[in-house]
């Protein structure tokens, strides 16, 4: 009888430990998400509604090369704004699907008009990146460049496999501030 009770208690303790671990690892889904140019509550976020614009100017989409059809949106850039002026250090913020991150980071780079790399770094996910949901990211990019030139901010899907079929990126036109 004692062995049976001990086995039941051990099984219950293991089940409770697994449930607690899953709850902790799953992370919070309470956040603000940019949908159709508007900030929408997802769950019950503890943070205030973002004050930055969530408009179409900051939304980048991917199109199918064969059909030209717009595919699912991958990245919402909050800062900087598309076509806006930037200066160093550049704060980069937005939201991306968790599948774009590896180990909670995602590469970014700044290119001049000829495609030369002016700077490269990583942005970091703010929260559980092991999800297909959109999660916020932030990072800083330091660079030196001639004022007034047109540049491109590239946000790339982190692809540790190096298989080209898993590559993806979005590009935003920016201008180096005078």
Encoded tokens for 8: 């039941």
For the ranges 5-14, 45-54, 62-71, 163-172, the maximum mean pLDDT occurs at: 163-172
Q: Lowest mean pLDDT: which of 73-82, 91-100, 103-112, 144-153?
A: 73-82
Judge residue 76's burial from the number of C-beta atoms within 10 Å of its C-beta, 0-12 exposed, 13-18 middle, 19 or more buried.
Answer: buried
49-176 CATH pick, 3.30.565.10, 2.60.40.2550, 1.10.1060.10, 1.10.3720.10: 2.60.40.2550
> How far apart (Å, rounded) are the C-alpha atoms in residues 78 and 34?
10
* pTM of this structure: 0.61
Best CA proximity match to 160, nearest among 84, 106, 87: 106
> 122 falls in which pLDDT band (50, 70, 90)?
very high
- Extents of the domains making up the chain: 49-176
Output the pLDDT for position 1.
61
| Bigger pLDDT: 64 vs 151 | 151
What are the DSSP E strand ranges found in 5-116? 31-35, 38-42, 59-60, 75-79, 85-86, 90-97, 105-112
Task: Give 23-43 pLDDT, tens digit per residue.
Answer: 554 444 556 666 667 777 767
């Amino acid at each position: 009888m004692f062995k049976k009770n001990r086995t039941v208690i051990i099984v219950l303790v293991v089940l409770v430990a697994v449930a607690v671990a899953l709850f902790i690892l799953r992370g919070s889904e309470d956040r603000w998400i940019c949908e159709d140019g508007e900030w929408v509550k997802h769950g019950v976020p503890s943070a205030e509604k973002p004050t930055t614009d969530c408009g179409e100017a900051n939304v980048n989409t991917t199109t199918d090369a064969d059909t030209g059809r717009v595919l699912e949106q991958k990245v919402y850039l909050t800062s900087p704004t598309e076509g806006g002026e930037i200066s160093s250090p550049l704060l980069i913020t937005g939201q991306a699907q968790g599948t774009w991150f590896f180990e909670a980071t995602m590469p970014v780079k700044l290119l001049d008009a000829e495609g030369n790399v002016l700077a490269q770094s990583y942005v970091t996910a703010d929260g559980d990146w092991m999800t297909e949901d959109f999660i916020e990211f932030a990072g800083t990019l330091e660079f030196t460049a001639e004022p007034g030139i047109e540049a491109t901010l590239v946000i790339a899907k982190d692809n540790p496999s190096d298989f080209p079929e898993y590559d993806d990126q979005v590009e935003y036109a920016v201008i180096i501030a005078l």
